[in-house]
Amino acid sequence: MSTIRDVARLANVSVATVSRVLNGSSKVSQKSKDAVLQAQKELGFYLNANARALAQRDSHTIGVVVSQISDPYFGEAVQACDDSIHELGYNLLVGQGYHNAEREKRAIDDLISYQCRGLIVHALALSEKELMAYMDTIPYMVMINRVLPGYESRCINCDNYLGECLAVEELIAHGHTKIAYINSSHTIEDTTERLQGYCDTLEKHGIKYDPSLVFNGSPSLEGGSDAAAQLLAHHQPIKDFTAVACYSDVMAAGLMATLHQNKLRIPEDISITGFDNLFLSTCLIPTLTTVNNPVRQMAEEALHRSLSLYEGKPIEAPHRADVHLVRRDSVTAPKE
Amino acid sequence: MSTIRDVARLANVSVATVSRVLNGSSKVSQKSKDAVLQAQKELGFYLNANARALAQRDSHTIGVVVSQISDPYFGEAVQACDDSIHELGYNLLVGQGYHNAEREKRAIDDLISYQCRGLIVHALALSEKELMAYMDTIPYMVMINRVLPGYESRCINCDNYLGECLAVEELIAHGHTKIAYINSSHTIEDTTERLQGYCDTLEKHGIKYDPSLVFNGSPSLEGGSDAAAQLLAHHQPIKDFTAVACYSDVMAAGLMATLHQNKLRIPEDISITGFDNLFLSTCLIPTLTTVNNPVRQMAEEALHRSLSLYEGKPIEAPHRADVHLVRRDSVTAPKE
DNA sequence: TTGAAAGCGCTAACAC
DNA sequence: GTGTTAGCGCTTTCAA
């Protein structure tokens, strides 16, 4: 690896000049510029980002931690973040928490030591207390999909409660009264809010909440399948429910696979709703009726807040993203 | 941000001692250790990863560039890489090329300047010439899904030709003779090899290759839908083909969505095969018959080669991962 | 077991 | 316009 000094020597200029040319800064004579560029090419030279970060006290880097990058939801979320991040001239660093407190901690710690200029974290396993400690030491840290009391303006999420109400309303509007619910086993705000939306909407229509129709799984495809398997196992033959509302599109996809394996037709036998409106939900057959979760908008909001915080700018009011129902083909009227 | 000096001062030891404690290295008295840890906690101190990388001439970091992290194929690939990377105690840096030469270049350049200790790149837009130039300047760079002549042992891919042969054989074995093909519009090796497998297998069974049954799209869900739309538009009513082999699972998913929109049933009206065996292919309805692409194994292989290369170790023989057919529900005999 | 000090590769005053 | 040089925060000899 050659250094800036090698380039300077070869180009017959000082290191300062090399730095100027390579950073496109201030006035440099065309002659020096050419010499430097030529020398750079000859040596295959790259500025050392670590050294730059150190000297500039700026890593040009934004950290994002999610559960798992291969999960479609987080794939889209990270994508959304990265797009905004690059637009602003920064680079993205991703950490993965794997639904696991230890790993979440490590992911956050790593990003902090990389001196990220912004930090957006999704954590579902760490306790409120631990997260609050982070929020206190890292003033520019922002959370997504989770709200910490006292830190509301640094927590970005969507209206989970309303979203789930809309989904269940849609099922009821089609005539369903026996509605099961597939839930995430991580009980953080979004989970409890969505479940609450489910319960309240049933109640509002005079339908009694039946806990034996609610099953949990990890918020993943596998988790959706698992929960679905439990649901079917506990209700044979299928007559206790005609529809299933799901915590997320991903879990809904898992549910659909399991229903299909069990020769149940969607929506003829069972209607389904998801949550998130991932691209995935348009690929499923039938396409999934779901609640739009504006990840992209939330990513932008989170990024801007984190950046502002880093610069010590005043904090705005809390942000709660709007949701709306997206009607597709997975909901129809119950049979008979 | 406090520095190691602040910690040293507060703990009443030298910076060297702080460094020793925080790196778990060599002999330090329990007393110093306690003092340092206490001071660290008090200050909320984190070692600066950039400074460490500089001092140690080791960033502890591996770079991976893919097309797009939200793409299910790359989601799984990055995941596989990250798992191996963490096992070895490194950290992952991801770059995205977005099917675009300029972006691919930038992603690679960024990772190089971060001083990655290993570099795994998937690039489909950059020319062979440009990539070879990179391979020459970065001796530890390894490519996936692409083979550069003269650099075979630094290029990891799977047996694309055989894989596509297996898929088409499967269709023919079910009685199909009119088989369309949906292809990626990026003509790199995997694309041409799979197409060749398709052609040769047809020919082997005495079926004439018909170019009017082959359509391109970008290797994405949207691309699959687009290509499918073209295919349908050019063959109305549908009587020129009874099956479609696809370049990838992701494109197959796009195709399935389009067929479904057009009221075509799978597999009753049209049989389909994919390529990759993503988790996605088990979620589609019907589940997709496809070719297993051992991404995880390839990721490990790529990582180990890159690391060896970095350490100047000898290069092994070329690696071409095995493939096999995975039978599911998207293929059946043609009608009538 | 500990500390002093010389770098790591770069940027950014500052002086010319 | 250009060069000199003092750091950035850390690790790692080398001596003590």
Indicate whether A278 belongs to any domain. yes
Rounded to a whole number of angstroms, the CA Rg of chain B reads: 25
Of A46, A49, A115, the CB nearest to B48: A115
Largest CA distance in chain A: 87
Paired sense of beta strands B290-292 and B324-326, if any: antiparallel
Q: Would you give per-residue pLDDT tens digits along chain B (336 residues)?
A: 899 999 999 999 999 999 999 999 768 999 999 999 999 999 999 999 999 999 999 999 999 999 999 999 999 999 999 999 999 999 999 999 999 999 999 999 999 999 999 999 999 999 999 999 999 999 999 999 999 999 999 999 999 999 999 999 999 999 999 999 999 999 888 999 999 999 999 999 999 999 999 999 999 889 999 999 999 999 988 899 999 999 999 999 999 999 998 999 999 999 999 999 998 898 888 999 999 999 999 999 999 999 999 998 888 788 889 999 999 999 999 987
**pTM score, two decimals?**
0.93
What's the mean pLDDT in A38-47?
Answer: 96
Nearest nucleotide (C1') to the CA of residue B58?
C8
Indicate whether A53 belongs to any domain. no
Question: In the prediction, which pLDDT does A314 show?
Answer: 81
Cβ atoms < 10 Å from Cβ of A158 = 25
Residues of chain B with Cβ-Cβ distance to A48 below 8 Å are 54, 113, 115
Inter-chain residue contact B256 with A46, CB threshold 8 Å = no
C-alpha span between B198 and B190 (Å, rounded)? 12
Indicate whether A231 belongs to any domain. yes
Inter-chain residue contact A46 with B109, CB threshold 8 Å = yes
Percent of residues in chain B assigned helix, strand, coil, to nearest 5: 50, 15, 35
Indicate whether B253 belongs to any domain. yes
Nearest nucleotide (C1') to the CA of residue B15?
C3
Number of structural domains chain A divides into: 1
Q: Which residue intervals of chain A are DSSP H helices?
A: 4-11, 15-22, 30-43, 49-56, 72-87, 101-113, 128-137, 160-173, 189-204, 221-234, 249-261, 280-283, 295-310
Inter-chain residue contact A46 with B113, CB threshold 8 Å = yes
Inter-chain residue contact A113 with B47, CB threshold 8 Å = yes
Question: In the prediction, which pLDDT does B47 show?
Answer: 98
Burial classification of residue B147, based on how many CB atoms lie within 10 Å of its CB (0-12 exposed, 13-18 middle, 19 or more buried): buried
Question: In the prediction, which pLDDT does A44 show?
Answer: 94
Indicate whether A29 belongs to any domain. no
CATH of the domain at B229: 3.40.50.2300
DSSP assigned state of A236: S
Residue ranges making up the domain that contains B181: 160-293
Indicate whether A273 belongs to any domain. yes
Q: Which amino acid is at B39?
A: A
The CA–C1' separation of B52 and C8, in angstroms, is: 9
Indicate whether A283 belongs to any domain. yes
C-alpha span between A319 and A159 (Å, rounded)? 10
Band (pLDDT 50/70/90 cuts) for residue A231 is very high
The CA–C1' separation of B116 and C12, in angstroms, is: 26
The residues close to strand C, meaning Cβ under 7 A, are A 1, 3-5, 15-16, 19, 22-23, 25, 45-48, 51-52, 54-56; B 12-17, 20, 26-29, 31-32, 51, 54-55, 57
Indicate whether A148 belongs to any domain. no
Inter-chain residue contact B94 with A96, CB threshold 8 Å = no
Mutation for testing the B interface, residue in A52, A279, A285, A310 having most B CBs under 10 Å: A285
Q: What is the mean pLDDT of chain A?
A: 95
